[in-house]
Chains A and B, each alone.
Chain A
Amino acid sequence: DIVMTQSPDSLAVSLGERATINCKSSQSVLYSSNNKNYLAWYQQKPGQPLKLLVYWASTRESGVPDRFSGSGSGTDFTLTISSLQAEDVAVYYCQQYYSSPFTFGPGTKVDIK
């Protein structure tokens, strides 16, 4: 199984400041035949369904604010919230869909400082 790790476990950022979450996979999730990274990011708020933010490591889902951006390739990925808003308080998960079983990172909790 591909093991996904995230750092930090939690972070507190001032409103309007940048939040950066890192995700690392135990093996590359870059599919050579199409040069795509099989990596997604989700947001989880209490009592709400998980929400897809980013897929293919850097493609923002329709309707997701452009302050959310994904980057990285191979085994190292980053989710950046460029200007943290109060509604961004949540837990964020990365997930690989390169190989089965699909696996998730342990999550990063983002709070307001």
Chain B
Amino acid sequence: QVQLQESGPGLVKPSQTLSLTCTVSGGSISSGSFYWSWIRQPAGKGLEWIGRFYDSGSTNYNPSLKSRVSISVDTSKNQFSLNLSSVTAADTAVYYCARGLVESYQLLNFDFWGQGTLVTVSS
């Protein structure tokens, strides 16, 4: 069974960079059958897709966050990471990592999610 676990600081100061890591167990992050994403959920609000990594180096980001987001991968540790720069209180949310399916070069639904980690932006 694949498991994903988010980790990182729970408190980040405004204007700083939010950095989170997702550790994947039970499956290889290098598999071309999957892509790897970050999604967030502000308190009382809906889910927002942040970005994804797939195909040995390709990344896509939500245009609403593109200028501030980067996703990187460490295959040796079976981890992928999120950096979100210049954060404000609006970036306070539960951040999830998730695995998505790849089929015939199409990126499909998510099949496994982490439990999520709350990140609060506050001085």
Most buried by A among B47, B96, B111: B47
Tell whether A32 is near chain B: CB-to-CB under 8 Å.
no
Q: What is the size, in residues, of chain A's interface with B at 8 Å between Cβ atoms?
A: 22
Q: Judge if A12 is at the interface, Cβ distance under 8 Å.
A: no
User: Which residues from 42 to 100 on chain A have a C-beta closer than 8 Å to any C-beta of chain B?
Assistant: 42, 47-52, 55, 61, 93, 95, 97, 100
The reply to whether the CB of A40 lies closer than 8 angstroms to some CB of chain B is yes
Q: Is the interface of B mostly helix, strand, loop or mixed?
A: strand
Q: Are B109 and A55 touching (Cβ within 8 A)?
A: yes
Q: Is the CB of A97 within 8 A of B112?
A: no
Task: Count residues of chain B with CB under 8 A from any CB of chain A.
Answer: 23
Is there contact, CB below 8 Å, between B109 and A104? no
Cα A38 to Cα B100 in complex, Å, equals 13
Closest chain-A Cβ to B95's Cβ sits at a distance in Å of: 13
Instruction: Tell me if A103 is interfacial: C-beta within 8 Å of chain B.
Output: yes
B residues adjacent to A (C-beta < 8 A): 4, 45-49, 60, 62-64, 96, 98, 100, 107-116
